Protein backbone atom coordinates (compact mmCIF):
# COMPACT_ATOMS: atom_id res chain seq x y z
CA UNK A 1 0.00 0.00 0.00
CA UNK A 2 1.23 3.50 -0.83
CA UNK A 3 1.13 4.84 2.71
CA UNK A 4 2.65 1.76 4.33
CA UNK A 5 5.99 3.32 5.28
CA UNK A 6 4.38 6.58 6.38
CA UNK A 7 1.78 4.91 8.55
CA UNK A 8 3.82 2.17 10.20
CA UNK A 9 7.52 2.73 9.66
CA UNK A 10 7.64 -0.62 7.84
CA UNK A 11 9.04 -0.65 4.35
CA UNK A 12 8.66 -3.31 1.69
CA UNK A 13 12.25 -4.56 1.99
CA UNK A 14 12.90 -5.23 5.67
CA UNK A 15 16.43 -5.71 6.93
CA UNK A 16 17.64 -9.32 7.32
CA UNK A 17 15.27 -10.45 4.58
CA UNK A 18 17.37 -13.45 3.70
CA UNK A 19 17.32 -14.74 7.26
CA UNK A 20 13.58 -14.23 7.49
CA UNK A 21 12.99 -16.11 4.25
CA UNK A 22 14.97 -19.02 5.63
CA UNK A 23 12.90 -18.94 8.79
CA UNK A 24 9.65 -18.91 6.83
CA UNK A 25 10.78 -21.87 4.76
CA UNK A 26 11.83 -23.85 7.81
CA UNK A 27 9.11 -22.50 10.09
CA UNK A 28 6.93 -25.57 10.39
CA UNK A 29 9.86 -27.86 11.09
CA UNK A 30 11.44 -25.49 13.60
CA UNK A 31 8.20 -24.92 15.46
CA UNK A 32 7.37 -28.61 15.63
CA UNK A 33 10.85 -29.47 16.87
CA UNK A 34 10.87 -26.78 19.52
CA UNK A 35 7.42 -27.60 20.82
CA UNK A 36 7.87 -31.36 20.79
CA UNK A 37 11.15 -31.05 22.70
CA UNK A 38 9.73 -28.75 25.34
CA UNK A 39 8.36 -30.50 28.42
CA UNK A 40 6.57 -27.29 29.35
CA UNK A 41 5.07 -26.37 26.00
CA UNK A 42 1.81 -24.65 26.78
CA UNK A 43 -1.39 -26.51 26.01
CA UNK A 44 0.07 -29.76 24.83
CA UNK A 45 0.38 -32.22 27.69
CA UNK A 46 2.86 -35.08 27.76
CA UNK A 47 1.32 -37.11 24.94
CA UNK A 48 0.41 -34.29 22.57
CA UNK A 49 2.17 -33.87 19.26
CA UNK A 50 1.40 -30.46 17.75
CA UNK A 51 0.97 -30.17 14.04
CA UNK A 52 1.90 -26.64 13.10
CA UNK A 53 1.71 -24.70 9.89
CA UNK A 54 3.97 -21.76 9.02
CA UNK A 55 5.50 -20.15 12.10
CA UNK A 56 5.93 -16.68 10.62
CA UNK A 57 3.39 -13.87 10.47
CA UNK A 58 2.93 -12.72 6.89
CA UNK A 59 -0.52 -11.16 7.29
CA UNK A 60 -0.79 -7.44 8.06
CA UNK A 61 -3.71 -5.66 9.66
CA UNK A 62 -4.72 -2.06 10.28
CA UNK A 63 -5.45 -0.35 13.54
CA UNK A 64 -7.03 2.75 12.10
CA UNK A 65 -4.35 3.93 9.66
CA UNK A 66 -1.53 2.10 11.46
CA UNK A 67 -0.33 -1.11 9.79
CA UNK A 68 0.95 -3.91 12.01
CA UNK A 69 1.51 -7.66 11.91
CA UNK A 70 -1.66 -9.68 12.44
CA UNK A 71 -0.15 -11.09 15.63
CA UNK A 72 1.81 -8.73 17.84
CA UNK A 73 3.80 -9.37 20.99
CA UNK A 74 3.21 -8.15 24.51
CA UNK A 75 6.34 -7.19 26.45
CA UNK A 76 5.10 -7.20 30.03
CA UNK A 77 6.47 -10.18 31.91
CA UNK A 78 10.02 -10.07 30.62
CA UNK A 79 11.19 -8.42 33.84
CA UNK A 80 9.01 -10.48 36.20
CA UNK A 81 6.83 -13.46 35.34
CA UNK A 82 3.40 -14.18 36.76
CA UNK A 83 5.08 -16.77 38.97
CA UNK A 84 7.18 -13.86 40.39
CA UNK A 85 10.47 -15.25 39.04
CA UNK A 86 12.83 -13.03 37.03
CA UNK A 87 13.55 -14.26 33.47
CA UNK A 88 17.07 -14.37 32.03
CA UNK A 89 17.43 -10.99 30.36
CA UNK A 90 19.68 -12.03 27.41
CA UNK A 91 17.15 -14.70 26.47
CA UNK A 92 14.33 -12.15 26.52
CA UNK A 93 16.33 -10.08 24.02
CA UNK A 94 16.86 -13.18 21.87
CA UNK A 95 13.12 -13.90 21.87
CA UNK A 96 12.19 -10.36 20.83
CA UNK A 97 14.73 -10.34 18.02
CA UNK A 98 13.55 -13.77 16.86
CA UNK A 99 9.96 -12.51 16.91
CA UNK A 100 10.92 -9.89 14.35
CA UNK A 101 12.54 -12.62 12.25
CA UNK A 102 9.23 -14.49 12.45
CA UNK A 103 7.33 -11.53 11.02
CA UNK A 104 6.16 -9.79 14.20
CA UNK A 105 6.28 -6.01 13.71
CA UNK A 106 4.06 -4.87 16.59
CA UNK A 107 5.52 -4.75 20.12
CA UNK A 108 3.48 -3.56 23.09
CA UNK A 109 4.88 -2.46 26.46
CA UNK A 110 4.43 0.26 29.13
CA UNK A 111 6.39 2.36 31.56
CA UNK A 112 4.61 0.52 34.40
CA UNK A 113 6.01 -2.88 33.37
CA UNK A 114 8.96 -3.25 35.66
CA UNK A 115 8.50 -0.32 36.14
CA UNK A 116 10.67 0.85 33.25
CA UNK A 117 12.58 -2.42 32.76
CA UNK A 118 10.44 -3.90 29.98
CA UNK A 119 10.83 -0.71 27.95
CA UNK A 120 14.59 -1.00 28.39
CA UNK A 121 14.58 -4.64 27.27
CA UNK A 122 12.46 -3.84 24.22
CA UNK A 123 14.53 -0.81 23.30
CA UNK A 124 17.76 -2.79 23.39
CA UNK A 125 16.25 -5.71 21.49
CA UNK A 126 14.91 -3.81 18.49
CA UNK A 127 17.52 -1.07 18.16
CA UNK A 128 18.94 -2.51 14.92
CA UNK A 129 15.56 -2.67 13.19
CA UNK A 130 13.62 -0.01 15.04
CA UNK A 131 12.38 1.64 11.83
CA UNK A 132 10.86 -1.65 10.66
CA UNK A 133 8.54 -2.13 13.64
CA UNK A 134 5.72 -0.44 15.53
CA UNK A 135 6.21 0.33 19.22
CA UNK A 136 3.27 0.79 21.57
CA UNK A 137 3.76 2.03 25.12
CA UNK A 138 1.60 3.53 27.86
CA UNK A 139 1.44 6.25 30.48
CA UNK A 140 -1.06 6.90 33.24
CA UNK A 141 0.18 5.49 36.54
CA UNK A 142 1.67 7.79 39.15
CA UNK A 143 5.28 6.71 38.72
CA UNK A 144 8.23 8.86 39.72
CA UNK A 145 9.84 9.66 36.33
CA UNK A 146 13.32 9.67 37.87
CA UNK A 147 13.31 6.67 40.22
CA UNK A 148 10.53 4.48 38.83
CA UNK A 149 8.87 4.36 42.24
CA UNK A 150 5.17 3.50 42.07
CA UNK A 151 3.61 6.23 44.19
CA UNK A 152 0.13 4.74 44.08
CA UNK A 153 -2.85 5.80 42.03
CA UNK A 154 -3.06 7.36 38.59
CA UNK A 155 -1.64 10.49 37.02
CA UNK A 156 -2.61 11.79 33.60
CA UNK A 157 -1.91 15.45 34.24
CA UNK A 158 -0.46 17.00 31.07
CA UNK A 159 2.91 17.88 32.59
CA UNK A 160 3.28 14.36 33.96
CA UNK A 161 2.42 12.85 30.55
CA UNK A 162 5.19 14.92 28.97
CA UNK A 163 7.77 13.71 31.50
CA UNK A 164 6.57 10.11 31.28
CA UNK A 165 6.93 10.06 27.51
CA UNK A 166 10.38 11.62 27.62
CA UNK A 167 11.47 8.78 29.91
CA UNK A 168 9.88 6.15 27.69
CA UNK A 169 11.66 7.51 24.62
CA UNK A 170 15.04 7.23 26.33
CA UNK A 171 14.42 3.70 27.55
CA UNK A 172 13.06 2.60 24.16
CA UNK A 173 16.07 4.19 22.39
CA UNK A 174 13.85 5.96 19.90
CA UNK A 175 12.69 9.43 18.94
CA UNK A 176 8.98 8.57 18.69
CA UNK A 177 6.36 6.20 20.06
CA UNK A 178 4.15 4.85 17.29
CA UNK A 179 1.12 4.17 19.49
CA UNK A 180 0.78 5.78 22.93
CA UNK A 181 -2.00 4.60 25.23
CA UNK A 182 -3.46 6.04 28.38
CA UNK A 183 -3.04 2.96 30.59
CA UNK A 184 -6.07 3.68 32.77
CA UNK A 185 -8.46 6.62 32.86
CA UNK A 186 -7.55 9.22 35.49
CA UNK A 187 -10.81 10.13 37.26
CA UNK A 188 -9.42 13.57 38.08
CA UNK A 189 -8.32 14.71 34.61
CA UNK A 190 -10.75 15.45 31.75
CA UNK A 191 -9.96 13.26 28.76
CA UNK A 192 -9.91 16.40 26.61
CA UNK A 193 -6.88 17.61 28.62
CA UNK A 194 -5.19 14.25 28.10
CA UNK A 195 -5.88 14.45 24.36
CA UNK A 196 -4.44 17.95 24.30
CA UNK A 197 -1.22 16.78 25.95
CA UNK A 198 -0.90 13.90 23.48
CA UNK A 199 -1.59 16.28 20.58
CA UNK A 200 1.30 18.46 21.77
CA UNK A 201 3.54 15.39 21.72
CA UNK A 202 2.34 14.58 18.22
CA UNK A 203 3.15 18.10 17.10
CA UNK A 204 6.65 17.59 18.50
CA UNK A 205 7.01 14.36 16.50
CA UNK A 206 7.35 12.25 19.64
CA UNK A 207 4.04 10.39 19.28
CA UNK A 208 2.34 9.26 16.07
CA UNK A 209 -0.93 7.66 17.21
CA UNK A 210 -2.79 7.31 20.46
CA UNK A 211 -5.22 5.00 22.21
CA UNK A 212 -6.92 4.13 25.47
CA UNK A 213 -7.01 1.05 27.69
CA UNK A 214 -9.96 -0.28 29.69
CA UNK A 215 -11.78 3.09 29.48
CA UNK A 216 -15.45 3.89 29.97
CA UNK A 217 -17.43 4.07 26.74
CA UNK A 218 -18.30 7.75 27.21
CA UNK A 219 -14.63 8.57 27.64
CA UNK A 220 -13.78 6.75 24.41
CA UNK A 221 -16.26 8.82 22.44
CA UNK A 222 -15.09 12.09 24.00
CA UNK A 223 -11.44 11.17 23.42
CA UNK A 224 -12.07 10.30 19.78
CA UNK A 225 -13.92 13.59 19.26
CA UNK A 226 -11.02 15.53 20.76
CA UNK A 227 -8.24 13.64 18.94
CA UNK A 228 -8.92 10.64 16.69
CA UNK A 229 -8.14 7.41 18.54
CA UNK A 230 -6.23 4.72 16.67
CA UNK A 231 -6.72 1.75 18.97
CA UNK A 232 -8.32 0.50 22.18
CA UNK A 233 -6.50 -2.07 24.29
CA UNK A 234 -8.73 -4.16 26.57
CA UNK A 235 -8.64 -7.66 27.92
CA UNK A 236 -10.43 -9.94 25.46
CA UNK A 237 -10.34 -13.68 24.84
CA UNK A 238 -12.62 -16.69 24.94
CA UNK A 239 -12.04 -16.50 28.70
CA UNK A 240 -13.29 -12.89 28.92
CA UNK A 241 -15.71 -11.68 26.25
CA UNK A 242 -16.93 -8.51 27.95
CA UNK A 243 -15.83 -6.11 25.16
CA UNK A 244 -18.25 -7.76 22.74
CA UNK A 245 -21.20 -6.03 24.38
CA UNK A 246 -20.31 -2.37 23.85
CA UNK A 247 -16.63 -1.64 23.29
CA UNK A 248 -16.06 -3.61 20.09
CA UNK A 249 -19.28 -2.28 18.48
CA UNK A 250 -18.16 1.26 19.38
CA UNK A 251 -14.74 0.65 17.83
CA UNK A 252 -16.40 -0.62 14.66
CA UNK A 253 -18.66 2.43 14.52
CA UNK A 254 -15.77 4.87 15.02
CA UNK A 255 -13.15 3.08 12.89
CA UNK A 256 -10.90 2.33 15.85
CA UNK A 257 -8.70 -0.79 15.99
CA UNK A 258 -8.86 -3.22 18.89
CA UNK A 259 -5.90 -4.84 20.64
CA UNK A 260 -6.73 -7.68 23.08
CA UNK A 261 -4.38 -7.98 26.03
CA UNK A 262 -4.19 -11.36 27.74
CA UNK A 263 -5.50 -13.01 24.56
CA UNK A 264 -4.67 -16.45 25.98
CA UNK A 265 -6.53 -15.87 29.22
CA UNK A 266 -3.40 -15.50 31.37
CA UNK A 267 -2.21 -18.92 30.09
CA UNK A 268 -5.54 -20.63 30.82
CA UNK A 269 -6.47 -21.20 27.17
CA UNK A 270 -3.14 -22.87 26.44
CA UNK A 271 -3.99 -25.80 28.71
CA UNK A 272 -1.00 -25.06 30.92
CA UNK A 273 -3.30 -24.64 33.94
CA UNK A 274 -5.43 -27.53 35.18
CA UNK A 275 -7.50 -28.45 38.23
CA UNK A 276 -4.37 -29.24 40.26
CA UNK A 277 -2.47 -26.02 39.56
CA UNK A 278 -1.40 -23.96 42.58
CA UNK A 279 -0.29 -20.35 42.21
CA UNK A 280 2.81 -18.90 43.83
CA UNK A 281 2.45 -16.09 46.38
CA UNK A 282 2.25 -12.82 44.46
CA UNK A 283 0.86 -14.39 41.27
CA UNK A 284 -2.11 -12.17 40.34
CA UNK A 285 -4.06 -15.20 39.13
CA UNK A 286 -4.29 -16.38 42.70
CA UNK A 287 -6.49 -13.35 43.39
CA UNK A 288 -8.79 -13.81 40.40
CA UNK A 289 -11.90 -15.75 41.35
CA UNK A 290 -12.16 -17.30 37.88
CA UNK A 291 -9.03 -19.26 38.88
CA UNK A 292 -10.41 -20.42 42.23
CA UNK A 293 -10.46 -24.20 42.47
CA UNK A 294 -14.24 -24.41 42.32
CA UNK A 295 -14.63 -22.03 39.38
CA UNK A 296 -11.63 -23.46 37.58
CA UNK A 297 -13.17 -26.94 37.57
CA UNK A 298 -16.17 -25.48 35.74
CA UNK A 299 -14.15 -23.23 33.43
CA UNK A 300 -11.93 -26.06 32.22
CA UNK A 301 -14.77 -27.01 29.87
CA UNK A 302 -13.62 -24.07 27.76
CA UNK A 303 -10.09 -25.46 27.63
CA UNK A 304 -11.39 -28.84 26.52
CA UNK A 305 -13.35 -27.13 23.75
CA UNK A 306 -10.21 -25.36 22.54
CA UNK A 307 -8.19 -28.58 22.66
CA UNK A 308 -10.78 -30.36 20.55
CA UNK A 309 -10.68 -27.61 17.97
CA UNK A 310 -6.88 -27.71 17.99
CA UNK A 311 -7.05 -31.34 16.92
CA UNK A 312 -9.53 -30.48 14.17
CA UNK A 313 -7.36 -27.67 12.82
CA UNK A 314 -4.04 -29.51 13.31
CA UNK A 315 -2.83 -26.67 15.48
CA UNK A 316 -2.29 -25.99 19.17
CA UNK A 317 -4.84 -24.63 21.66
CA UNK A 318 -2.92 -21.36 21.86
CA UNK A 319 -3.03 -20.98 18.09
CA UNK A 320 -6.77 -21.72 17.96
CA UNK A 321 -7.41 -19.17 20.73
CA UNK A 322 -5.49 -16.44 18.91
CA UNK A 323 -7.00 -17.34 15.54
CA UNK A 324 -10.48 -17.12 17.08
CA UNK A 325 -9.78 -13.53 18.13
CA UNK A 326 -8.50 -12.57 14.69
CA UNK A 327 -11.55 -14.16 13.09
CA UNK A 328 -13.95 -11.92 15.04
CA UNK A 329 -12.94 -8.71 13.22
CA UNK A 330 -10.25 -7.89 10.64
CA UNK A 331 -9.04 -5.00 12.82
CA UNK A 332 -8.41 -7.07 15.95
CA UNK A 333 -4.70 -7.68 16.67
CA UNK A 334 -3.84 -9.89 19.67
CA UNK A 335 -0.57 -9.33 21.55
CA UNK A 336 0.35 -12.58 23.32
CA UNK A 337 3.33 -12.32 25.61
CA UNK A 338 5.81 -15.04 26.50
CA UNK A 339 9.21 -15.63 28.05
CA UNK A 340 9.86 -18.84 26.11
CA UNK A 341 11.18 -19.03 22.58
CA UNK A 342 9.05 -22.02 21.60
CA UNK A 343 5.87 -20.25 22.67
CA UNK A 344 6.77 -17.19 20.61
CA UNK A 345 7.18 -19.44 17.56
CA UNK A 346 3.87 -21.12 18.34
CA UNK A 347 2.01 -17.82 18.75
CA UNK A 348 3.43 -16.49 15.49
CA UNK A 349 1.95 -19.48 13.70
CA UNK A 350 -1.58 -18.57 14.79
CA UNK A 351 -2.03 -16.26 11.82
CA UNK A 352 -1.97 -19.33 9.55
CA UNK A 353 -5.00 -20.89 11.28
CA UNK A 354 -8.28 -20.00 9.58
CA UNK A 355 -11.92 -20.95 10.03
CA UNK A 356 -14.57 -21.33 7.37
CA UNK A 357 -17.75 -19.31 8.03
CA UNK A 358 -19.48 -22.51 9.14
CA UNK A 359 -16.62 -23.45 11.45
CA UNK A 360 -16.55 -19.99 13.00
CA UNK A 361 -20.29 -20.03 13.61
CA UNK A 362 -19.99 -23.44 15.23
CA UNK A 363 -17.08 -22.39 17.43
CA UNK A 364 -18.69 -19.10 18.43
CA UNK A 365 -21.84 -20.94 19.44
CA UNK A 366 -19.87 -23.42 21.53
CA UNK A 367 -17.90 -20.63 23.23
CA UNK A 368 -21.10 -18.74 24.07
CA UNK A 369 -22.60 -21.87 25.58
CA UNK A 370 -19.90 -22.01 28.27
CA UNK A 371 -20.51 -19.37 30.92
CA UNK A 372 -17.20 -18.57 32.59
CA UNK A 373 -17.53 -18.37 36.35
CA UNK A 374 -15.65 -15.87 38.51
CA UNK A 375 -14.23 -12.37 38.05
CA UNK A 376 -11.45 -11.67 35.58
CA UNK A 377 -9.41 -9.49 37.95
CA UNK A 378 -9.10 -8.81 41.67
CA UNK A 379 -11.58 -6.17 42.90
CA UNK A 380 -8.95 -3.47 43.40
CA UNK A 381 -7.76 -3.80 39.79
CA UNK A 382 -11.20 -4.26 38.30
CA UNK A 383 -12.30 -0.96 39.89
CA UNK A 384 -9.94 0.84 37.49
CA UNK A 385 -11.67 -0.48 34.36
CA UNK A 386 -14.67 1.10 32.65
CA UNK A 387 -14.02 4.43 34.36
CA UNK A 388 -15.13 7.68 32.74
CA UNK A 389 -13.04 10.83 32.97
CA UNK A 390 -14.60 13.92 34.58
CA UNK A 391 -16.29 16.46 32.30
CA UNK A 392 -14.28 19.31 30.85
CA UNK A 393 -15.22 22.53 32.63
Q: Which positions ≥6 away from 134 have C-beta within 8 Å? A: 8, 9, 10, 66, 67, 68, 105, 106, 107, 178, 179
DSSP single-letter state for residue 131 = G
Helix (H) or strand (E) segment spanning residue 208? strand 207-213
Q: What is the CA 277 to chain-centroid distance, rounded?
A: 24
- How far apart, in whole angstroms, are the C-alpha atoms of residue 297 and residue 103? 37
- How far apart, in whole angstroms, are the C-alpha atoms of residue 373 and residue 355? 27
Provide the angle, in degrees to the nearest 10, between the axes of the packed helices 117-126 and 158-172: 40
Catalytic annotation on 113? yes
- How far apart, in whole angstroms, are the C-alpha atoms of residue 281 and residue 381? 17
- How far apart, in whole angstroms, are the C-alpha atoms of residue 364 and residue 369? 9
Residue tagged active-site, from 82, 88, 100, 113? 113
Closest CA to 341 of 145, 100, 95: 95
Find out whether 18 and 32 touch, Cβ atoms under 8 Å: no
- How far apart, in whole angstroms, are the C-alpha atoms of residue 194 and residue 18? 43
Provide the angle, in degrees to the nearest 10, between the axes of the packed helices 191-203 and 158-172: 40
- How far apart, in whole angstroms, are the C-alpha atoms of residue 203 and residue 199? 6
Q: What's the per-residue H, E or C state across 244-311? A: HCCHHHHHHHHCCEEEEECCCCCCHHHCCCCCCCCCCCCCHHHHCHHHCHHHHHHHHHHHHHHHHHHH
- How far apart, in whole angstroms, are the C-alpha atoms of residue 9 and residue 370? 41
- Burial (CB < 10 A; 0-12, 13-18, 19+), residue 266, is buried
Q: Which residues carry out catalysis?
A: 113
Amino acid sequence: MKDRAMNSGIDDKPRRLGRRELLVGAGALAASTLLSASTGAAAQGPAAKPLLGPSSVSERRRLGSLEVSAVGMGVQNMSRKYETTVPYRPEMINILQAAYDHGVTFFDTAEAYGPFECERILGESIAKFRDKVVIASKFGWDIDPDTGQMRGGLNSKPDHIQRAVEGSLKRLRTDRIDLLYQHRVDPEVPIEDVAGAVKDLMDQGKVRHWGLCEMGLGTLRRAHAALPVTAVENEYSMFWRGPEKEVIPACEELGIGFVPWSPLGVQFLTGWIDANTRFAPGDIRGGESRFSQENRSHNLALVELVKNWAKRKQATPAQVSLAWLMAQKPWIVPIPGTTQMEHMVENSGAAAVHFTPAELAELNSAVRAIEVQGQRLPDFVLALSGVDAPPKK
